[in-house]
């Protein structure tokens, strides 16, 4: 495919050369203001255009970058996916002075869900339609842009992309047409491209990949089209597939039928007709081949345990469970697999035999929790569409607790009917794909929630690839809808504080060492709260829905906060194309009152 690479005013190779000089000075014992440029340059530096990547040095450099508080080198900042920045220059006491430093307009005014990564003074951000833009992180000036001509694309929820991974001298992105590409970090040229999945059958890659142990790990989406999803790892240097893990186990792998659960793991009735399902199972022996399963977000990685963790989405078809008897493993599950081999280690299914599209879509977050006996346990959490946060022992997958509900729940797990049955949460959740943020200071997980009452209607539909295959419909009731932003104590399971906003929330959160948590809304607002108390301490009015996860980083001793403002497809938030970056007031910053339209191509307005 033809690929256009547009170079900006500042040559990336010059930036990398400058970073290399900083590396040399650091090696000679000279400290640098801003702290993080040395590790950052190593994480993405090296000789531009090398045919191969030194995996050992790249892995070491990435870990060093993740340990540097001034950087944001991966989707969730590090392998934990906590979205916590230790930076503390901006606090509740001075956040009122947070002002716009620069704006970059991408020129792609579609849904904007990307989380940027920042290393070596360069920000890498993706847009809808799989553009990648490299920007000067201090000024917003464009360095280069990758603008591919995509093949056939089939996707359920907008032509979106949620981010890239950096490793060695490469930038990695999954595309809507099922390709995984490696770009030269110096200039955006395509180093290699591999076809991960059949884009004409309904597969797509929308989530950010993660790179660990020399492997680029990514998951497919497409469960609305009757695919059999998977997570795969590719050699970061060559692009060769290393292993593949199917989200729907074949009969030879133990099958997807499971234990025919009458309740979820916490005893909540699922109202299934198990007898009928078992009687019908012989009619659908091959249902697993089109059983669905998607991975919407970047996996978490525990390099000590050697495990990769991710959440798996809905079975196919979404609402008509009659044609797929059984628990439909590993859909609606948190799964752990071996980092080196891709082999199954454990799984925890949130909703066996889901018929409500309550797919597990938000990121898995790693942290240390108090176990039921008060001991500290290496744990993970996942904020689900069901409206609960699930806390598990990450070594074993055993549940530690299910938190209190962070959204209203009514008529839980009522079976869909032809006429429709009302249930809360609606099909968007709960929590959608929005990555939450975790603060090690408060022990709270900050979760974006939706209140959208829906009628669940089931009907028989034949699979006609690559057509949509829902097996029914979820329909709004006309009741008021709104969003809830919640602080959930993961050690007690209690919702500590909660803020209501006018519209359902999709996007993501950021928490910082300054005791702040940032989040955006569909009403074009970018907000900051006191992380402990929930008191709103700052607000910025954007030009479009703020439906993307924010990030924080520092350059030359100055802390920056960046978020994309371009709206969302699923809740029809107002569209736009802006990357917004803020810092405390000073040269180069502007206040919201003096806000003017940013010129295309970025830079301080």
- Catalytic site positions: 357
Cβ within 8 Å of residue 115, ≥6 positions away: 75, 76, 162, 163, 208, 435, 508, 548, 549, 551
The residue assigned the tokens 């209190």 is 404
What is d(CA 138, CA 567) in angstroms, rounded to the nearest whole number?
24
CA dihedral 233, 239, 242, 245 (to 10 degrees): 40
| DSSP string of 330-342, one letter each residue | TTTEEEEEETTT-
d(C-alpha 572, C-alpha 523), whole Å: 11
Alpha-carbon span 574 to 445, nearest angstrom: 27
CA nearest to 555, candidates 115, 29, 123, 46: 123
| CA distances (Å), origin 43, targets 7, 71, 212, 248, 402 | 22, 11, 12, 35, 37
Rg (CA), the chain: 23
Scored b (16 or more CB within 10 A) or e, 302-319 reads beebebbbbbbbbbbbbb
Closest CA to 487 of 381, 400, 358: 381
SS (H, E, C) 186-223: CCCCEEEEEECCCCCCCCECCCCCEEECCEEEEECECH
Instruction: Name 525's bridge partners.
Output: 541
CA-closest candidate to residue 324, choices 423, 460, 219: 460
Backbone phi, then psi, for 253, in 5-degree steps?
-95, 10
Would you state the structure tokens that stand for residue 130, as one six-digit string? Answer: 């799989």
CA 56 to chain centre: 26
**Mind giving me the DSSP string for 12-58?**
HHHHHHHHHHHHHHHHTT---TTS-HHHHHHHH-SSTT-SS--HHHH
Sheet holding 421-423, edge to edge: 421-423, 454-458, 472-476
Strands (E), 269-332: 300-302, 307-311
CB 8 within 8 A of CB 143: yes
Residues 6+ apart with CB under 8 A from 339: 212, 213, 215, 301, 303, 306, 307, 308
Burial 402-434 (b: 16+ CB within 10 A, else e): bbbbbbebeebbbbbeeebbebbbbbbbbbbbb
């Amino acid at each position: 495919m033809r690929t256009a690479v547009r170079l900006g005013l500042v040559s990336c190779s010059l930036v990398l050369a400058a970073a290399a000089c900083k590396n040399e000075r650091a090696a000679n014992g000279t400290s640098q203001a801003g702290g993080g440029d040395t590790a950052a340059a190593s994480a993405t530096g090296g000789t531009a255009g090398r045919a191969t990547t030194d995996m050992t040095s790249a892995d070491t450099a990435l870990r060093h970058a993740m340990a540097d508080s001034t950087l944001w080198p991966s989707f969730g900042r590090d392998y934990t996916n906590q979205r916590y920045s230790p930076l503390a220059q901006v606090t509740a006491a001075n956040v009122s002075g947070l002002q716009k430093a620069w704006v970059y307009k991408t020129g792609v005014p579609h849904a904007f869900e990307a989380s940027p990564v920042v290393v070596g003074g360069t920000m890498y951000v993706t847009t809808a339609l799989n553009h990648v833009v490299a920007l000067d992180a201090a000024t917003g000036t464009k360095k280069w842009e990758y603008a591919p001509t995509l093949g056939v694309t089939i996707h359920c929820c907008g032509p979106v992309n949620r981010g890239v991974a950096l490793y060695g001298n490469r930038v990695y992105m999954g595309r809507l047409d099922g390709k995984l590409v490696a770009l030269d970090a110096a200039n955006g040229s395509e180093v290699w491209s591999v076809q991960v999945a059949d884009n004409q059958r309904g597969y797509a890659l929308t989530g950010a990949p993660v790179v660990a142990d020399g492997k680029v790990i990514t998951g497919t989406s497409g469960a609305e089209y009757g695919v059999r999803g998977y997570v795969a790892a590719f050699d970061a240097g060559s692009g060769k597939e290393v292993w593949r893990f199917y989200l729907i186990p074949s009969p030879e792998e133990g099958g997807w039928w499971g234990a025919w659960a009458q309740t979820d793991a916490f005893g909540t009735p699922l109202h299934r007709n198990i007898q009928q399902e078992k009687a019908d199972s012989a009619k659908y022996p091959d249902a697993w081949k089109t059983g669905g399963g998607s991975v919407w977000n970047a996996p978490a990685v525990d390099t000590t345990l050697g495990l990769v963790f991710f959440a798996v989405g809905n079975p196919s078809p979404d609402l008509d469970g009659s044609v797929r008897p059984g628990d439909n493993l590993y859909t609606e599950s948190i799964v752990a697999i071996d980092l080196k081999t891709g082999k199954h280690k454990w799984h925890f299914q949130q909703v066996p035999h889901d018929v409500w599209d309550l797919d597990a879509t938000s990121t898995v977050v790693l942290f240390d929790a108090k176990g039921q006996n008060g001991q500290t346990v290496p744990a993970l959490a996942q904020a689900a569409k069901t409206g609960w946060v699930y806390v598990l022992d990450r070594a074993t997958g055993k549940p530690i607790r299910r938190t209190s509900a962070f959204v209203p729940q009514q008529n839980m797990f009522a079976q869909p009917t032809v006429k429709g049955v009302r249930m809360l949460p609606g099909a968007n959740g709960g929590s959608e794909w929005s990555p939450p943020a975790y603060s090690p200071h408060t022990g709270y997980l900050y979760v974006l929630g939706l209140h959208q009452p829906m009628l669940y209607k089931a009907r028989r539909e034949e699979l006609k690839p690559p057509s949509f295959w829902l097996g029914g419909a979820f329909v709004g009731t006309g009741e008021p809808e709104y969003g809830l932003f919640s602080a959930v104590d993961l050690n007690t399971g209690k919702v500590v504080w909660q803020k209501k906003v006018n519209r359902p929330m999709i996007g993501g959160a950021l928490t910082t060492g300054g005791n702040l948590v940032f989040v955006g809304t569909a009403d074009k607002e970018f907000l900051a709260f006191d992380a402990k108390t929930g008191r709103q301490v700052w607000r910025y009015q954007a030009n479009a829905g703020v439906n993307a996860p924010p990030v924080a980083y520092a350059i030359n001793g100055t802390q920056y906060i960046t978020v994309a403002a371009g709206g969302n497809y699923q809740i029809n938030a107002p569209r736009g194309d802006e990357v917004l970056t803020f810092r405390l007031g000073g040269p180069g910053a502007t206040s919201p009152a003096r806000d003017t339209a940013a010129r295309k191509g970025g830079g301080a307005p």
